[in-house]
Chain A
Amino acid sequence: MKLVTYTRRPGGDTWGVYRDGWVIDVRSWAAASVGDPVLPLPSTLIELLEDGPASLDRVRDIAEEASRSLRESGKPRFMHKEEDVVWRPPLPRARLISMRGNNPILLRLDGLPIPEHPTLTPRHPGRLIGHQEPITLRREDGEIAWGAEFVAVVGRVTRDVDVLQAKDAVAGYMATNDLSGSCFAQVIAPDLSRDNYNYRDEHFAGKFYGTWSMPQSVGPWLVTADEIDDPYHLTVAAYENGVPCDIVTTAAMLFTFEDLISFLSRFMTLRPGDLISSGALGYHVINGLGSYPSGSEFAIEIEHVGTLRNPIDDRRGVAVP
């Protein structure tokens, strides 16, 4: 099942199920169903995850019923064509925690040591954008880097679990485009020469200010875990204007999601809706000003999950009003 959060202007965010080009408004369907004795469905996907597997099963049944109704009557009921909705991050303002460099082969090629434990950094929760939302580039962003990452969604309150128990914590998966900009060198610390960065400067330049300054796109939807037989044998591809620039496999992951969730759960409570990113499995693409004019598009495709597309809105040459 593919769970989405979307907006139909005017109006706020709501959620539904994506199927074959249609977004099913599950809550409205449930509310209108005569004789449905169950409580109303929650208003956000995070609350749905909190409700647990029984609510997910109910949503699955409603989506099946809606699809059957469309097939039989030819009339969509509480359904929107995908081009008629504005996609939002499936879990708006989620906590996204990302692994740093998780492909041992690339680490070796780069002469970096193979880490013995996960190295994770948080992304700014206010910077998440959804499928097809534009990535606005500002003058301060200068050079940007981007790349495909695979994300697991935590589905239950998870505290102090081992690796085997951690598997039960995963509710589903999605893709993310890990974008970072060069605002650190441009505006935060322009007086520092890049050649003289120490390790802390590198963190702030790349993982902290670098990613917080850029939109982090996630989606296109949350694919529930039951639809992915083996999350560690999936192809991940990154495309620039339709041209593939990186193709890797999740088999490359040094630390699995279960490793990462178990590690974090020893000292912090993970909650439904938390996003754990695989980190870079391939090389990030780095390009400078002018490489991505407005109308360019980044796409991240993950086998059995979907394709996350984001157009570029380049305002780097535009004076700030």
Chain B
Amino acid sequence: MKIARVQRAGVGAAGALALVTNDAPSGFRVLAVNERRSDITAEALVTTADPDEPWQESASTYRLLAPLAYPCTMMEMEANSPQQCTERGHGVPSYPMLTLLPDNVINHPGGEVVTPSWSNRVSVTAQIAFVCARTVARPEDARPDAILGYTLLLAFADWTLVDRLSCPTERDRSMNEDYGRWFDGYKPIGPWLVTPDEMPEFSEVAIELAVGDRCVVTRGADMIFGPLEILHRVSAAFPFSAGDLVALGAMGTSVEVPIDALDTGLEVRARCDEIGELTCTLKRLGGLTQSGHPAGDPLRAGHRRGPGGANLTGPSHIATD
């Protein structure tokens, strides 16, 4: 079953819950829609069997939204494949490295990912993410029925800021790297959730990532921690809730985006046979200002020292170039 959040074209209403199929020439077809439910939770899906609920086949044109529950907590695994660990200079971790994502990063299938004008180094990985069907508060709760479905996620990371921030130690650099993942709209998610019964073993799953002319394939067999192991290990520390999204991290190499192509727009596409296809267009916002400083540059004005730093010696400003 493919579960989507959709929005009727031309109508500014909130999303609706829908069941879709991807056998249509246009990419997908809505089989049933429930305009009274926009929350993607197991509870909402149970209502599909309720004859009183207004599920109906619809001839309307819909646009796909990120298949997320609101509110939800979004998390992303880092260093979840040996190749990623090598690229990032990490050893292979002995525990799942789960980081939080602020929800401003959400973008929808087919959306535009707009980099700031000052971006000059951006990379992307294609990932599989899952949405929790229910609360997982203890390791023994981490059973297959805890997963509502799987989707794709294009994870852009902007290294421009990290490159330019002062990082006196590896520790500082490591913390700064998180900023690169928090940019507005840098995580297109979709196109829908595929329920676990339609997914093969992860070792058999592959994702093709196309960035302009470049194409790479990553495989689930290279993943260090699978979904249930993550839930099992981490739920000992804190509970996952229904609707939480966990991105499983890159299963292989990341792709550097050709920055020059951003001025005209660059199509980025992830495809997984079992899930579907997720696309977005990456483009750059604006250009340089007259002063030569990129508009909105986070380092342009330096950072005014607060009262606690007023009498300190040491660097008094941050270099802008």
Binding site for B on A (CB under 8 A): 93, 95, 97, 100, 102-105, 113-127, 140, 159-160, 162-163, 183-184, 187-189, 191-192, 199-200, 202-204, 208-209, 212-213, 232, 250-256, 258-259, 262-263, 266-269, 271, 320
Q: How far is the CA of A138 from the CA of B124 in the complex (A)?
A: 39
In the complex, which residues of chain B have a beta carbon less than 8 angstroms from the beta carbon of A121? Answer: 175, 178
Q: Give min CB distance, B95 to chain A, whole Å.
A: 4
The majority secondary structure among interface residues of chain B is loop
Pick from A119, A162, A251: contact of B307, CB below 8 A.
A251
| CB of A266, distance to nearest CB on chain B (Å) | 4
Q: Are B116 and A266 in contact (CB under 8 A)?
A: yes
Indicate if the CB atoms of B174 and A199 lie closer than 8 Å.
Answer: yes
Of the candidates B100, B170, B308, the one whose C-beta lies within 8 Å of that of A102 is B308
User: With A119-B176, A200-B97 in contact, do A267 and B158 touch (Cβ < 8 Å)?
Assistant: yes
Sample of 19 further A-B pairs with CB below 8 A, known A188-B236, A232-B306: A93-B71, A104-B312, A123-B100, A124-B73, A125-B73, A163-B301, A188-B95, A200-B90, A200-B97, A208-B99, A212-B237, A253-B306, A254-B308, A255-B303, A256-B306, A266-B296, A266-B298, A267-B182, A267-B298
Number of A-B contacts (CB under 8 A): 151
Near A by CB (< 8 A), chain B positions 252-307 give 295-299, 301, 303-307
A117 and B303 contact, CB distance less than 8 A: yes
Contacts of A192 in B (CB 8 A): 94-95
Across the interface, do A183 and B306 meet the contact criterion of CB distance under 8 Å?
A: no
Binding site for A on B (CB under 8 A): 71, 73, 90, 94-100, 102-105, 116, 138, 158, 161, 165-166, 168-172, 174-176, 178-179, 182-184, 233-234, 236-239, 241, 295-299, 301, 303-309, 312, 314-315, 318
B138 touches A255 (CB 8 A): no
Whether B238 pairs with A209 at a CB distance below 8 angstroms is: yes
- Known interface pairs A118-B303, A192-B94; A267-B165 also in contact (CB < 8 Å): no
A140:B236 contact, CB within 8 angstroms: yes
List of A residues within 8 angstroms of B175 by Cβ: 100, 119, 121, 203
Give Cα A115–Cα B173 distance, bound, in whole angstroms: 12
Q: Knowing A124-B100, A199-B174, A266-B297 are in contact, say whether A232-B179 is a contact too (CB < 8 A).
A: no
Q: Sorted from nearest, which 4 A-B pairs have the closest CB atoms? A: A266-B298, A199-B171, A187-B236, A256-B306
* Contact (Cβ within 8 A) A113 B234: no
Asked whether A256 lies within 8 Å of B307 as measured between CB atoms, the reply is yes
Residue of chain A at shortest CB distance from B303: A259
Q: Assuming the A-B contacts A121-B175, A255-B306, A268-B184, are A183 and B237 also in contact, with contact meaning beta carbons closer than 8 angstroms in the complex? A: yes
